[in-house]
Structure 1
Amino acid sequence: MEKLYLEDLAVGQTYRSSEYTLTEDNIKQFASAYDPQPFHLDDQAASAHPVFQGLAGSGWQTAAITMRLWVESFPVAGGLVGFGADVQWKRPTRPNDVLHVQSEITDLRRSQSKPNQGIITLFSQTINQNNEVVQESTTKILVWSKDSGVL
C-alpha cells in the first residue's frame, strides 16, 4: 500500500481493515503470556465467572489485534506512532470471533512549531462478525508531511 502523509488525510475519511479470526488457542496463548487470569485460560472457571460466563479474550489482546489491523489498513508514513488513547471494551471477545476495525479521522492538526508534522485523532471501533462493537478507541497519531523526508 502507498504510504499516507498529512496532505493525504482529512477529517471524515474512513478506513476499514481486513478481518482477523480469534481462536481459543490464540486467547489462551495470549493470556498465558500477558494476562493470566482464569476467565482467559480455563473454560470451567470462565463459564462460572459472573461477568464473562464463558472463555473471553483479554481486552489487551483485542487492543493488540486492533493495532495489527490498523497497521495493515492505514499505512501512515513513518509508522503508527501514538500520542495517547482512550480505549473502552464494550463486550468480550470469544473463540471464533471474526474481528475487523472501522476507523474515522475526527480531527487533524498541523503542528505550529513543527510544520512538517501533525496529529490526527482516529476514532475506531473493533467489530465482530455479528456487527457488535467489542472495543472503541480514540487515538492521537503522529503524521508526517510529504516534505518531511519520512518514508
Structure 2
Amino acid sequence: MPVYYEDVEVGTVETNGDYDVTREEVLSFAERYDPQWFHTEPDRAAEESPYGGVIASGWHTAAMTMRLLVEGTLADAATVGAKGVDELRWPVPVRPGDSLHIENEVLEKVPERPERGLIRARTRTFNQDDERVFSMIGNVMYLRRSDE
C-alpha cells in the first residue's frame, strides 16, 4: 500500500543502508559530471590534495544518498517529486571503500493543495564510522488520499 501524505507523522525517523562506495564508481562519476583533479586523479590526489587521496564528488554523495532514500523511505511513498532542498552540506568527504547509510527525519507537514501536501524531512548520510558525510532538508510532494 502506498504511503500518502496523511500517513506521514512529524518526528518519524527511519534509517536505511548500506551502500558500498567503489573506486571505479567515484572515478567514473567524477569524470562524467565533476572532473576536478581531486576526484579524478588518484595518484595526484594522494600526493597533493589535503584529503590524502581521491574523494567522491559531493554531487555523487548526493546521488548515492538519493538512491538509499528511494530504496528505503520513498520505496512505497506516493510521491510526485520534490520542490528542492535546503541546507545542503558535505562536512566530511566520501572515499572509495566507505559504506554509507542514511537517517531520514520528518520535520514538518504542509498541506498545499487538495491533491497533495509537502513533507519537509532532514536526510543525513553517515559512513561506516558514523561520521556525517552529507545532510539536506528535502521538500517532497506527497499525494493525498482522495475522498472517493
Determine if the TM-score, normalized by the shorter chain, exceeds 0.5.
yes
When you count strand as a share of all residues, which structure comes out higher? 2
**Residues 23-74 of structure 1 deviation map (CA, whole Å, 9 limit, x = unaligned):** 1111001111111111111112212344322110000000000111111111
Match of 1:143 in 2: 142
Q: How far apart are residue 127 of structure 1 and its match?
A: 0.3
What amino acid does structure 1 have at the position aligned with 2:97? N
Match of 2:97 in 1: 96
Structure 2 distance, partners of 1:128, 1:91, is: 9
Say if 1:148 and 1:54 are closer, same or farther in 2 by CA, change over 3 A. Answer: farther
Structure 2 distance, partners of 1:107, 1:48, is: 45
Greater CA deviation, 25-34 or 42-51?
A: 42-51
Structure 2 distance, partners of 1:138, 1:88, is: 10
TM-score, length basis structure 1: 0.90
Q: Which runs of 5+ in 1 are unaligned?
A: none
CA RMSD of superposed structures (Å): 1.6
The total of aligned residue pairs comes to 145
What amino acid does structure 2 have at the position aligned with 1:84? G
Q: How far apart are residue 148 of structure 1 and its match?
A: 7.8
What amino acid does structure 2 have at the position aligned with 1:6? Y
What amino acid does structure 2 have at the position aligned with 1:99? L
Match of 1:67 in 2: 66
Greater CA deviation, 35-44 or 121-130?
A: 35-44
- 4+ long deviations beyond 6 Å: none
Does the 8 Å CA contact 2:4/2:142 hold for their aligned counterparts? yes
Q: Which runs of 5+ in 2 are unaligned?
A: none
TM-score, length basis structure 2: 0.91
What amino acid does structure 2 have at the position aligned with 1:12? G
Match of 1:120 in 2: 119
Secondary structure of the structure 1 residue equivalent to 2:17: coil
Match of 1:43 in 2: 42
Does the 8 Å CA contact 1:116/1:148 hold for their aligned counterparts? no
